[in-house]
Amino acid sequence: MLCLAECERATSKIRVAANWAQRGAHLFHLLRDVSGEVDALLMFAHCASMLGRSEESVESALLAVRLLEDAPPGSRQKMSAFNYLGLAYCLSRNFAPADEALQQAVKIAQAGDTPAGAFQPRANQLYASIMRAATERYFLGHLPCTAGVTAAHAACAKLDRGQDTLVAGSKVIALALWALMSSIEATWSRNFERADADLAEGHAWAARYGVMARMNATEAWARVELAWAMGRLEEAERHAIDLISIASTVEHQQLACMGHLLLTQLLELQGKTTEALAETRRLRQREQAIRSEGLESRARVVAWQLEIRRSEGVMLQLTTASREFERLSMEDALTGIANRRFFERTLAQHLRTQAASQARLWIAFLDVDHFKQVNDRFSHAVGDRVLVRIAELLKANVRGKDLPARLGGDEFVVMLDAAQEQTAGLACDRISRAIQAEPWHSIAPGLHVAVSLGLACAEAGDTLESLLHRSDTAMYSLKRKRHASPGGEPVRGDDSAPDNPAARRP
C-alpha cells in the first residue's frame, strides 16, 4: 500500500495516494512495525497537506516525529519526519512552527553522515519563506520585505544537490522545484535575467518528468510573479488562471488556493472589482470543499480505528488462549501441579546446567501405598480427592524454587533444586509427617493413606532417565522394607538410619 501511494503521488493522483498511505499506516500500526508506520504517516502527511487537509497532515507528521523520539541523532528518517512536519505547517499557513520544524530537520541532517543531505529541508525553508511572503502580500496589499527569502535562498544555494542528498526517486521533482523557487526569489530581488534563466531551467527539469505534476503548477506561479513584477498584468492574470487549472488537475489544493489569491490581487490592480469579488467567492467555495473532504477522511479514520480495535481484540483473545493452552499442556488437569511433560523438560534443563552449581539436585519420588484399594473401597471420586490433597501437601512443604509434579496415577515427584543433602532430607521428613498427620477420615470415614518416599541425588553423567530410575528404585526398595517391618508404620524413605540422610541414597 505504501508503494502504491508513492506511485500515485508521483503521478499526481494525490487523493488516491492519501487513501493508500492512510490505510498502510493503520496496518503497519497493527503489525507493530514502527519504521513502516512512520513512512506511511509521512506519505499521508504530505498528501494531506497538498489536499489542504491541514489538521490531518500536521497530526500525522507530529505522530511520526513522536514515534522517532528515540531514533539516532543523524537518522535520515527522523530528518524526513521534521521535514514533512515543516511542510505540513507551511501549507497550513503556520509559518513560525514550520520554520522551527524545518530548522530541526536541517540540524539532524547536519549531524548525519552526509551534511549535504540538508538540501531538502533547506529548499523547503525557501519554499516556506516564499509562501509566507506571498500570503502576507495578499493581506498587506504590497510585497513585504523579502530579506528572509534571500537568506533562505543563499543557505540552500551553497549545498550540494547530488543524487545522494535527495530521497530516492525525487531528483527531478526536487531540482525542478528548486529552480522555480529560485526564479521567484530572483524576481522579487529584481534580477529578471536570472529569474528568466532559472525559470527556463525549472521548465526543462519539469519536462523530463513526462507527466503533469505539482512542479508544473509551481512553474505557472513563477511565471505569474515574473510577469507581475515586470508590469505585464494581463499576462500575469493568464498565468494565474493556468496555475489554478493545473493545480486543480494535479490535486494540489494549496497551490490552487494560492492561484485564487494571486488572481484576486491582479484583478483588483486592473480595476476589475466585480471579477475580483467573484474570484474571492470561488476561493471560499474551494476552501469549503476542502473542509468537507477532510471530514469525510476523518470518518474513514474512525472506521479503520474500529477495525484495528477489533483486530487487536482478536489478537488479544488468541494470545490469551495460546497462553492458556500452554499452561494446560504443562499442568496436571486433576491436581493443578506440574505434569510429567513439564517436569521432565525442567529436570533436563537443570541437569545440563547443574555442573556450574555448588549445591546439588535431588529427586524425591513418592508413591501412594495400596492406592488401588482406596479406589476400590471408597470410589474413584475419593481417590481423586486423595491425589489432589497430596499435591496440596507437596506444594505446602517445599521451597518456592522446588518443583512438585504428578507423573501419573498415584506417582508424584519433587525436584529439590540447589539443595544441600540435609535440606533434601528435611523436605522429605516434612512431606512424610504432613501426609501422616492429615485427617484423611474427613474425606471418607475409615480412610487411611500412607506413602513411600525415595530420594536420589543427581551425579555427574546423569540423564533424566537414569536419575528418575534411581529415585524410583529407592522408593520401591524402601516400600518393601516398610511392608516387611512389624506394624508396617509409614516411613519417610529410609527408617534404617533416620539420623543419616546419606543413607537414603541407593
For the chain, list the domains and their CATH numbers.
1-111 (1.25.40.10), 340-504 (3.30.70.270)
- Phi, psi of 358, rounded to the nearest 5 degrees: -75, -35
Of 120, 88, 82, nearest to 101 by C-alpha is 82
pLDDT digits (tens, 9 = 90+) for 406-431: 999 999 999 987 667 788 888 899 99
Residue 215 and residue 230: Cα distance in Å, rounded? 22
Residue 25 and residue 33: Cα distance in Å, rounded? 9
pLDDT reported for residue 490: 41
pLDDT reported for residue 335: 92
Q: Could you tell me what percent of the chain has a pLDDT over 70?
A: 89
Show Cβ contacts of residue 462 under 8 Å, excluding neighbours closer than 6 positions.
351
Across residues 365-378, what is the average pLDDT? 92
- Which position has the higher pLDDT, 66 or 117? 66
Which amino acid does the sequence have at 188? Answer: W
pLDDT digits (tens, 9 = 90+) for 432-458: 999 999 999 999 999 999 998 888 988
pLDDT reported for residue 284: 94
pLDDT reported for residue 249: 95
H helix or E strand, kind and range, residue 260: helix 253-269
Q: What count of residues does the chain have?
A: 506
pLDDT reported for residue 308: 67
Show Cβ contacts of residue 51 under 8 Å, excluding neighbours closer than 6 positions.
14, 15, 18, 251, 253, 290, 293
pLDDT reported for residue 502: 36
pLDDT reported for residue 493: 36
pLDDT-based confidence at residue 282 (cuts at 50, 70, 90): very high
Which amino acid does the sequence have at 288? Answer: Q
pLDDT reported for residue 461: 80
Q: Does the pLDDT of residue 462 top 70, yes or no?
A: yes
Tell me if 383 sits within 8 A of 478, measured CB to CB: no
Residue 399 and residue 416: Cα distance in Å, rounded? 8
pLDDT reported for residue 303: 72
Residue 237 and residue 279: Cα distance in Å, rounded? 12
SS3 189: coil
pLDDT digits (tens, 9 = 90+) for 188-235: 999 999 999 999 999 999 998 888 889 999 999 999 999 999 999 999
> Rounded to the nearest 5 degrees, what angle is found at the Cα of 371, between the Cα atoms of 370 and 374?
100
Encode 421-465 in three state secondary structure. Answer: HHHHHHHHHHHHHHHHHCCHHHCCCCCCCCEEEEEEECCCCCCHH
pLDDT reported for residue 317: 77
Q: CA of 316: how far to CAs of 312, 322, 323, 326, in Å?
A: 6, 10, 11, 15
Across residues 96-105, what is the average pLDDT? 95
Q: Does the pLDDT of residue 494 top 70, yes or no?
A: no
pLDDT digits (tens, 9 = 90+) for 165-184: 555 457 888 889 999 999 99
Pairing of strands 451-457, 360-368: antiparallel
Q: Could you tell me what percent of the chain has a pLDDT over 90?
A: 58
pLDDT-based confidence at residue 497 (cuts at 50, 70, 90): very low
pLDDT reported for residue 79: 92
pLDDT-based confidence at residue 403 (cuts at 50, 70, 90): very high
User: Worst-scoring range by mean pLDDT, 78-82, 171-175, 486-490?
Assistant: 486-490
